[in-house]
Structure 1
Amino acid sequence: MGWEEVVKFSLAVFSAAVSISAAVAWLTKKLFSSWFDKSLEKYKAKLNGDIETHRACLKRDADEYQARISFELSRIDNERSFRFSKLHEERLEVIKSMYGSISCIGVYLESTLSVLHRLDDMSIEEMFSNVVDSYNELLKVYPRNGLFFSPELCALIDDFLAKMRQAIRAIQVYPLDVEHATYINNPLILGTRHEMLEGVRGKYRDEIKVLQERLAGEFRELLGVN
């Protein structure tokens, strides 16, 4: 074999080696690329799964938190509605009680102070006693429930109570019974008594009516019947 043939053979061998190397390199690249693509897909699938799992956990936690908040808000709202309802009922009872006391004061005071207006089967002493009892009942109910009323209405009630206290004291200055020995011995005192009582009656009749109308208005407004 001459050197030319040797060179040709060597070149042929080298070319074959290069071709084989290139083929191996290409095959290796393809295998690596295929492995990398599969690994990447698995990683992406796992990552997507983790994301979905995390998202589901976040949604579950958010739903549970929202449910707890909704429950707490509902509980607070129910408690507030219950307290408001109880206060509403309590205020109605207070107004009803005060209206009744003021009405009784008006009825019995009118008959106590006038010689022409008498309630059947009741003495003047009994009628005046009912005035005092109704006044004392009003004193028991109003002071601890003044927060239910506006400052303007409280001022009217306070003024009425103060004047009623003065009226009760004024009525007690003279004996109530017109046949009392004091008047028999001194008829002029009986005339003075009548004038004083008539003045008291005219003074408080309008104030009682105003308070009755104001309390009745408050009561109807709470019931929604205005």
Structure 2
Amino acid sequence: MAELLKILMYSGPSVLILLILIFFGKNAIEYFFSETIEIKKKELNQNLENHKMLLDQQNRSFQHSLDTKLNEFNVRFSKLHEERANVIKELYERLVKLHSATVTLTRRIHPIIEDAEKEEKQRLENVNNALNEFNKFYLVNKIYFDKELSDRLDKVAHEYWSKNWDYATILRMFREGQVSGDFYKKMVEDSQKITEAVDKDITKSLEDLENEFRRVLGVI
């Protein structure tokens, strides 16, 4: 310390002033940087808070938009499911009527109530009406079913049409006396095969469709 004082005495005021400037300049620089850092920290914290608020607003806006779209989807899906359920109900009703008319037409023995020919004609008419009602309703509502189920319904509809057509043809040939001998025997065998196909294969297809309708409606 004594040596420092000697240096200051011999060096003059200029050195003293320089030392004072260095000392206070260093403190000023430290103070400046310290204040600058604090200001920047406050700015960063404020920016962070602003960013958090913006993200929170965006999240709320996105959630609101998502909830709105979800509600719209649920409404549309609920409406679609309701319409689809009504279509399935109506279609199944027509399918059961068609099946009943087909079973009645293709059974091996028909009791005669009053007039055999008239009653046979009525059975044929019932089948034709049932086929028309089913096809007319199904074709305009086919869009409610996926491709796989539509293909199954197409196949079942064709089977009903095919078996009824073939059986009606055999009846007409019998009625008009166009069969005899071996051909008569073949027609009898063919009619029996149709009856068995209706009782087994087509009935099984109807049962499978029933289960598929239940699955679509969510009741199984």
TM-superposed CA distance for 1:69, in Å, is 3.1
Residue deviations 1:28-71 (CA, integer Å, cap 9, x gap): 22332333233222211221122122222222222233333333
Pairing of 1:39-188 with structure 2 (within 5 A): 39-114=32-107, 115-116=110-111, 128-143=124-139, 144-145=141-142, 148-149=145-146, 151=148, 153-169=149-165, 171=168
Who is 2:212 aligned against? Answer: 218
1:217 is displaced (CA, Å) by 1.0
Aligned to 2:3: none
Distance (whole Å) between structure 1 residues aligned to residue 12 and residue 93 of structure 2: 118
Q: Answer yes or no: is the 8 Å Cα contact 1:99–1:212 preserved in 2.
A: no
Instruction: Indicate how the Cα distance of structure 1 residues 225 and 169 shifts in structure 2: closer, same or farther if over 3 A, else same.
Output: closer
Q: Cα deviations across residues 64-97 of structure 1 (Å, max 9, x unaligned)?
A: 3333333333344444444444443344333332
Change (3 A) 1:101 1:108: same
Range 23-32 or range 108-117, more displaced: 108-117
Q: What are the superposed Cα offsets for residues 113-167 of structure 1, whole Å, 9 maximum, x if unpaired?
A: 451398xxxx66555444333322321333342662453x544432332343344
Structure 1 154/224 Cα, relative in aligned 2: closer, same or farther at 3 Å? closer
d(CA) in 2 for partners of 1:155, 1:223: 19
Counterpart CA distance in 2 for 1:216 and 1:158 is 15
Structure showing greater radius of gyration is 1
Shift of 1:104: 0.7
CA spacing shift, 1:106–1:117, aligned 2, 3 Å: farther
Q: Are the aligned partners of 1:95 and 1:219 in contact in 2 as well (CA < 8 Å)?
A: yes
Measured in 2, the distance between the counterparts of 1:49 and 1:216 equals 71
Which blocks of at least 5 consecutive residues in structure 1 are unaligned?
1-13, 176-182
Aligned-residue CA RMSD (Å): 4.0
Q: 1:222 to 1:63 in 2, by over 3 A?
A: same
Q: Aligned partner of 1:88: which letter?
A: H
Asked if the contact 2:103–2:198 (Cα under 8 Å) also holds between the matched residues in 1, the reply is no
Distance 1:35 1:149, change over 3 A: closer
Contact kept? 1:160, 1:207, Cα under 8 Å: no
2-structure distance, mates of 1:67, 1:139: 51
| TM-score normalised by length of structure 2 | 0.66
- Cα gap change, 1:15/1:132 in structure 2, threshold over 3 Å: closer, same or farther? closer
Unaligned 5+ segments in structure 2 are 1-6, 114-118
Does the CA-based 8 Å contact 2:8-2:15 persist in structure 1? Answer: no
TM-score, scaled to structure 1 = 0.64
SS state at 2:16 partner: helix
Q: 1:218 to 1:169 in 2, by over 3 A?
A: closer
Q: CA deviation at 1:17?
A: 6.6
Instruction: Please report how far the alpha carbon of residue 197 of structure 1 lies from its aligned counterpart in structure 2 after TM superposition.
Output: 6.7
